[in-house]
Amino acid sequence: MDTRKLLLTTALALTLVAPAAQAQTYTVLHRFTFDDGAYPVAGVTIDSAGNLYGTTSSGGSQGVGTVFRMARSGSGWSFHLLYSFYGWTEQTTDGSGPYSRVVIGSDGVLYGTTHSGGDGNGCRELHGCGILYSLKPRDSDALRGWQETVVFMFGDLQGNNPDRGDLVFDRAGNLYGTTRNGGAHEQGTVYELTPNQGGGWTEQVIHSFTGSPDGASPLDGLVLDGTGKLYGTTSAGGVGGWGTIYQLTSTASGWIESVLHNFQNGTDGRIPISNMIFDDSGNLYGVTETGGGDRGATLFDLMLQSDGIWQFNTLFAFPGPRWSDPYWTHASVVMDSAGNLYGTNCTGGAYKWGSVFKLTRSNGAWTYTSLHEFTGGDDGGTPFGNLSLDSNGKLYGTTYVGGLNGNGVIFELTP
């Protein structure tokens, strides 16, 4: 992924703390060797016992990606390679290039997607349109090897090339996700997978993007509210061509899409590519990768008004070219119990290799604090993936490069 090809956004006059990292506890838990994975694009998922699960977009036995587990071992951690993907060959229809995190089902089974691989209809010449897979232990020893199952192979009409977005379960056990391309208008899709009584799954495209006015190329996943409505963003399309925020509502006649915001390439930012999150009051938070005026990423929220209209607000603009390097982000933010937000910039900072940041709200303004600035060396660099926050307030994530031979790292940070 060439992350330096995009333009950057407009800054707002909000409180900013100098970018030098403060004294935090930063620890590298694992440095990828390529044999066990390389170049993680996504972050990690935490289970109820505090173990970490994640994916790498490359490396492994065939060089096309892995799934791993970091298990707690006393006061330390142990790394376990759960699965190496084979990619598309004449003999196999396995996946290739997992860009998204895994999610954990109620039965402990892992689910995720790959960007390519499989042998979906219309995608054979492209080495597959991607798959949705599951992973579960082969026996009672969860560390001794896991069995992969291809749940679904994407194709042109079904959507293809699922990207960075997390899958999400609803209360009935249905899975929802997005594809970057494909669908009826070749602009990407939102799909639903429903479990069958026989153990299989049935896929249904619940929305095919048209480009304008509803958006195109969704790179992120979806979030569900308490009523079953779905929310997400598109990285392109919409009225201005800079992306949208949309809502999907299930009705008796099918799913209805509503555009909640069209990005304008101004102070509101542009190119949203990361998952949004809800706070306890039902407000949505998200970030754009870049914005107008070639400046850094923006933080926004959407607040539901009494008249049923969602109000869009730009809350914060990350530093632009006035500092050593523009700050922009691929990852979603995560919120702690006090309402503070944490995230990563994949560029910018003192060493230009990105940072982990904290945003604190006070009197209606947000203050930026750098928690760790990556050097691109042993501590890692270019953190594309989302952070995860455990019950003790510790943050976990991955970097795309750095560490051993530049293959990326898994890290822990105590704010």
Residue 6 has pLDDT above 50, yes or no: no
Backbone angles phi, psi at 322, to 5 degrees: -65, -15
Q: For the whole model, what pTM was predicted? A: 0.91
Q: For residues 334 and 391, is the Cβ–Cβ distance under 8 A?
A: no
C-alpha separations of 24 from 7, 45, 356, 387 in Å: 31, 22, 11, 16
pLDDT at res. 1: 43
**Which two structure tokens, joined as six digits, stand for 380?**
């890692």
Confidence of residue 140 (pLDDT cuts 50, 70, 90): low
| Per-residue model confidence as pLDDT tens digits over 292-344 | 656 778 999 999 999 999 999 999 988 765 444 567 788 899 999 999 999 99
| pLDDT exceeds cutoff 60 at 8 | no
Closest CA to 41 of 306, 358, 384, 295: 384
Question: Of 259, 292, 287, 261, which is closest to residue 273 (Cα–Cα)?
Answer: 287
**In terms of pLDDT, which residue wins out, 193 or 140?**
193
Q: How confident is the model at residue 249 (pLDDT cuts 50, 70, 90)?
A: very high
Q: What is the pLDDT of residue 172?
A: 94
Cα–Cα separations (whole angstroms), residue 402 to 56, 62, 412: 14, 21, 15
Report how far residue 76's alpha carbon sits from residue 30's, in angstroms, rounded to the nearest whole number: 11
pLDDT digits (tens, 9 = 90+) for 186-201: 999 999 999 998 888 9
Q: What is the pLDDT of residue 324?
A: 47
Whether the per-residue pLDDT at 152 is higher than 80: the answer is yes
- String of DSSP letters for 31-69: E--BTTBB---S-EEE-TTS-EEEEESBBSSSSB-EEEE
- Segment 382-411 mean pLDDT: 96
Question: Mean of the per-residue pLDDT values for the chain?
Answer: 89
373 — pLDDT class (breaks 50, 70, 90):
very high
CA distance 319 to 324: 9
Task: Kindly report the length of the chain.
Answer: 415
Q: What is the pLDDT of residue 349?
A: 85
State whether the Cα torsion 77-78-82-85 is positive or negative.
positive
- % of the chain beyond a pLDDT of 70: 88
Pairing state between β 355-362 and 244-251: unpaired
Helices (H), 138-188: none
